[in-house]
Amino acid sequence: MGAVSAARWRPRLTVIAVLAMWCSSRAGAQSESATTTGIVIVTGQQATTPVPTLMEGAANSVGNQDVADQLFLRLAEMGPKLLTAGDRDFVPALARSWTRRDSTTLVFEIDPRARWHDGVPVTARDVIFTFKRAKNPDLAPRVSELLRQITSVTAEGESRVVFRFARAYAEQFYDATYHVAPIPAHLLDSIPSDSVSRSSFAASPVGSGPYRWVRSVPGQFVELAAVPDFFLGRPKIERVILRTAVEPSARLNLLLSGQADAMDIIPPPSVGRVASDTTLRLIAVPSSTMGYLLFNQRDPKNRARPHSILADSRVRRAITLGLERNQLVQAVFGSHGMVPYGPVSQLLWIRHRSPRAGGPNVSEARRLLAATGWGDSDADGTLDREGRPLRLVLSLPNTSGIRRQMALLIQEQLRRIGVQIEIQQLEFPIYLERRSAGDFDVDFSSVNQDPSPSGLTQSWGCTGGNNVAGYCDRGVDSVMEQAIGGRGDPGEKWIEALTKIEQDAAATFLYAPAFMYAVNRRFRGVTITPQSAWLSLRKWSVSPVPIVGRSH
């Protein structure tokens, strides 16, 4: 009987053994492939059209920008200080040098060694062609708005490009170099301008950067290869795979299983798990993200009227003073976040010159509320005035774990000063629709900022396109205009504007985090630039010996 049973089970055990051998042999093959001079970076978005002037609308994504930064070289790159005023912090890239002719004219000399990936030299004609496309609002509505101060781009010979500006201002150089990298005129000028996005060029772009396009497997990855004769030095990493996994847990599994070498923006709750893997190095990178409680100063139901509670700056100020902001940041971001002074993320250079954000002051918060007529007449713990409780709705999207977690803590902290917060989690598109319409009391906003502080006018200027709360201080507008115009020290002017915004308590500025990135320790010379994570990849090198062993 025993022999019969063994005979019945033998084939099944054989199948199981073969399967186990297959699995383990493939796992070995996988780690072998990881020892080549390639890197697999796992990201949340796949590049769809990584071509300057085509990255408009939803295509203006981190996924596209990451790839475009490897394929296309800008005239100059930002330096480590991320200083957008003047040209002191910029380093040569496609342009080997530049000069200023007068207060409204900049001249760039294209590096004669620069080549497109098909071998054709990069010339002034390419730059002119690019800016002509980029300044067309029908083709590139976003970029054309950013380049509105550039009145003309002309050539003087093959390699000299002259930029003329409408007026003198501090960020002329930044505008000429940061927003758009040149694209090849010789490949694109025969294609109708509105058909480029559907052309073979968009599907397989030809650039001038350190890496060239190899292939895209939809929903899976994009592959790039090093350009052997790249004029600023051959990249040491030969293959770059940007692998896509939308779900953070899938990205994390790819990293921790060794299927990926690097990952951007590790969710704060998972940082400890990644840190316990000894093959990985964690790097804190200042982020462009800034989160804040935006107080609506207009009545959500009738924008012509002031908000019945929040129009009074003393109430707004009291809410800010009632919050232990450092505690909130510590709870969510650990030691990698900070409380900003004004609407400033860690990406903006002006933060280095700004004062520290103020701490909580519960007694002052109570005094301010009492001064505005709010008291606890029925001793229920919530302040009231003329029979109405001091109750505010805090709106946030249900997709943001960070904001959800922080909102609960805020609710609890404000209860101490008698302010009742009702948390309203909304589906993301609905949240955005209501926010844009000004239909909220307090909006838990999160914004990603460009390196330039001039973007602040959009949200904090009286006529700013993104000023959904109705905040308006002509004094702030005037100081911001002076800072942008470069009259005096722009840094000083920006700090003056921030101070006024803080004094007005237009919002409670809560967090400006650094995000954690992970990179396998076999890569050397690793630097991650805040404005574009993988921009300096061409300078990394890779150890031929794989790092083995993990400790969990």
Which residues make up the interface to another protein (CB under 8 A)? 20, 22-24, 26-27, 30, 33-34, 36, 38, 40, 48-49, 54, 56-60, 137-138, 141-142, 145, 197, 217-221, 223, 239, 241, 243-247, 249-251, 253-254, 256-259, 289, 399, 427-430, 432-433, 435-436, 446-450, 455, 458-459, 464-466, 552
Nearer to another protein, 26 or 474 (CB): 26
Nearer to another protein, 40 or 187 (CB): 40
Nearer to another protein, 54 or 407 (CB): 54
Nearest to 403 by CA among 267, 291, 272, 249: 291
Nearer to another protein, 123 or 289 (CB): 289
| Alpha-carbon gap, residue 530 to 532, rounded angstroms | 6
Nearer to another protein, 16 or 371 (CB): 16
| Alpha-carbon gap, residue 337 to 412, rounded angstroms | 21
| Closest approach of another protein to the CB of residue 268, in Å | 18
Nearer to another protein, 64 or 159 (CB): 64
Handedness of CA 314, 317, 323, 328 (dihedral sign): positive
| Alpha-carbon gap, residue 516 to 242, rounded angstroms | 18
| Closest approach of another protein to the CB of residue 405, in Å | 18
| Closest approach of another protein to the CB of residue 513, in Å | 14
Nearer to another protein, 70 or 289 (CB): 289
Nearer to another protein, 34 or 309 (CB): 34
| Closest approach of another protein to the CB of residue 179, in Å | 13
Give the gyration radius of the chain's Cα atoms.
Answer: 27
Q: Tokens for 435, please give them.
A: 């926010």
Rounded to an integer, what is the distance from CA 174 to the centroid of its chain? 17
Q: Tokens for 67, please give them.
A: 């790839």
Nearer to another protein, 253 or 424 (CB): 253
| Alpha-carbon gap, residue 209 to 475, rounded angstroms | 44
| Closest approach of another protein to the CB of residue 145, in Å | 5
Q: Tokens for 406, please give them.
A: 């922080």
Q: Tokens for 36, please give them.
A: 């080549």
| Closest approach of another protein to the CB of residue 440, in Å | 14
Q: Cβ–Cβ contacts within 10 Å for residue 514, how many?
A: 19
Query: Contacts from 221-227 at CB under 8 Å and sequence distance 24+?
Result: 221/40, 221/46, 222/46, 222/47, 222/50, 222/67, 224/67, 224/70, 224/71, 226/538, 227/117
Handedness of CA 351, 356, 360, 366 (dihedral sign): negative
| Closest approach of another protein to the CB of residue 216, in Å | 10
| Closest approach of another protein to the CB of residue 429, in Å | 3
* Orientation of helix 401-415 relative to helix 325-333, angle to 10°: 150
Handedness of CA 162, 164, 168, 173 (dihedral sign): negative
Nearer to another protein, 183 or 419 (CB): 183
| Alpha-carbon gap, residue 143 to 182, rounded angstroms | 13
Q: Tokens for 265, please give them.
A: 């923006």
| Alpha-carbon gap, residue 68 to 51, rounded angstroms | 6
| Closest approach of another protein to the CB of residue 428, in Å | 6
Helical ranges in 81-140 per DSSP H: 124-134
Nearest to 419 by CA among 464, 361, 375: 375
| Closest approach of another protein to the CB of residue 22, in Å | 8
